[in-house]
Amino acid sequence: MSNWTAKLAYKPVGLLLGAGAGMAAGLIFKQVWKLAGHDDDAPNATDEDRGWGEILLAAALQGAIFAVVKAGVDRAGAVGVRKATGTWPG
């Protein structure tokens, strides 16, 4: 299988994995936020009753968790495509 074909074949797989990674990252973030001793819901940037520190901490934590989960899922997907097709999809 050519590299171009592997890239094309990986597109729908990557989209599905990305959506799943986003959902998983959201669930992980909610649990981490609760374990950190905060409210059940993380603050939105426009929450008037929340301070800058809490809002920025929540955003940084959520971003870090999302990046790690997405990178792990993308890497696992690429490894799976290589095992299935013999070609790296990157």
pTM of the model as a whole? 0.81
> For the segment 8-53, what is each residue's pLDDT rounded down to a tens digit?
777 887 888 889 999 999 999 999 999 988 777 888 899 999 999 9
- For 48, phi then psi, to 5°, come to -65, -30
Domain ranges of the chain: 3-85
Mean pLDDT of 75-79: 88
C-alpha–C-alpha distance, residues 56 and 42, integer Å: 11
3-state helix, strand and coil shares in percent for the chain, rounded to the nearest 5: 75, 0, 25
Supply the pLDDT for residue 2: 67
> For the segment 45-74, what is each residue's pLDDT rounded down to a tens digit?
999 999 999 999 999 999 999 999 999 998
